Amino acid sequence: MDRLDNTIRPYAWGSTTAIPHLLGVEPTGEPQAEMWMGAHPGAPSRTGRGTLVEVVDADPEKELGPAAVAKFGPRLPFLLKILAAGAPLSLQVHPNLAQAKEGYEDEERRHIPVDAPHRNYKDANHKPELICALTEFDGLCGFRDPLQAAGLLDGLGVDSLKPYVDLLHAHPEDAALREVLTAILTADPEEMHRTVAEAAAACTRLGGDYAPYADIAHHYPGDPGVIAAMLLNYVRLQPGEALFLGAGIPHAYLNGLGVEIMANSDNVLRCGLTPKHVDVPELLRIVRFEASDPGVLRPEASPDGEEVYETPIDEFRLSRHVLPEGGSAHDLTRATPQILLCTAGLVQAGDHELRPGQSVFVPAGEKAEVSGAGTVFRATVIV
């Protein structure tokens, strides 16, 4: 197996302390948002044999296994991250596979450069993702019941929000949610800026259930995404709990440290809380306008001690092993590629000693045994 040297991305919303604290190093004072583990061309992990992209490209069947190559092609299908949010991320959705292929082909036909700021589809893949909390982790996930959203907005006492409150009482539910989100994102910018300022002041004054939105407005003053965020379920994950974000589900991460895994894609449609491009017509084509429970996931334990986060897709499978002091070794050998990530304690993975934040790549079929006292997350695929 290969020890991984991973890139830390300094996005502005990143925490200045969470990743350094995990790694046991001094903060630099700069935001450290994500540490990428995998073979994404934007920031591939490095090994003693070259980047993980180069390692896989040199012999896909040996590194990934014949079954994974047959199902997903000659590339690692997932990207594993440590994510540290010190401020809210953009409100966003991801396309399903058919939408991604269609959108990518359309933008290619129109010769829109892949790095153009108004480009929506960087590739032809979908981007389901799972976030598992390492600390308390706050986020927004899926639409609230429209009547609950109406009550939340109405409670602010802001006159310019009354039309949205009235729309949310309309039927059917999907049409009400679509009309309100459309109205928010297409409102006159100056009028919306005033509405958000009034709503933010009310959120600060009222506190309680409104406190998260006061914080969002502090980071994104005047942004229509502040009002759009109030249409969504607010969730606070405890360590070990997770959220699965499927296609079309609007979501945003607000604060906390977690392990994130996703299909190897960069396709994001933004709804707000960002200075970046918001393509309202394309967004409305992708969003699933239905109220839903956020569906907090807790791992399901198997007899061998593996705790699995069950999801409905095959590009990734995330699980963890909590290794007690003096416990027996766990054999994790598998006929598919794996990344093993230590998040607590001291873990021995083959010949590699892993401390928190350290990881290894295990080629398909290679012996993988872990021992020690700590927590190790295991990322692989289902074939």
| Residue 21 parent element (H or E) | helix 18-23
CA distances from residue 54 to 35, 44, 76, 313, 369 in whole angstroms, order as listed: 19, 9, 11, 26, 25
Distance CA(218)–CA(151), nearest Å, equals 22
Contact assessment for residue 77 and residue 263, using Cβ atoms and an 8 Å cutoff: yes
CB neighbour list of residue 43: distance below 8 Å, 6 or more residues apart: 7, 9, 36
Tell me: cis bond preceding 294? Omega within 30 of 0 counts. no
- Tokens representing 22? 């995990």
Distance CA(235)–CA(242), nearest Å, equals 10
Nearest CA to 235 out of 226, 222, 244 is that of 244
DSSP 8-state class, residue 335: S
Note if 317 is an active site residue.
no
Contact assessment for residue 94 and residue 268, using Cβ atoms and an 8 Å cutoff: yes
Q: From the candidates 3, 270, 317, 378, give the one annotated as an active-site residue.
A: 270
Distance CA(260)–CA(271), nearest Å, equals 21
Q: How is 102-149 classified by DSSP, letter by letter?
A: HHHHHHHHTT--TT-TT---SSS----EEEEESS-EEEEEEEPPHHHH
Kindly compute the dihedral angle of the four CA atoms of residues 353, 354, 359, 365, in this order, to the nearest 10 degrees: 50
SS3 38: strand
DSSP 8-state class, residue 327: P
Q: Which residue has the tokens 């401390």?
A: 355
User: What phi and psi, each to the nearest 5 degrees, are found at residue 148?
Assistant: -65, -40
CA distances from residue 259 to 83, 134, 359 in whole angstroms, order as listed: 6, 7, 12
Catalytic positions are 270
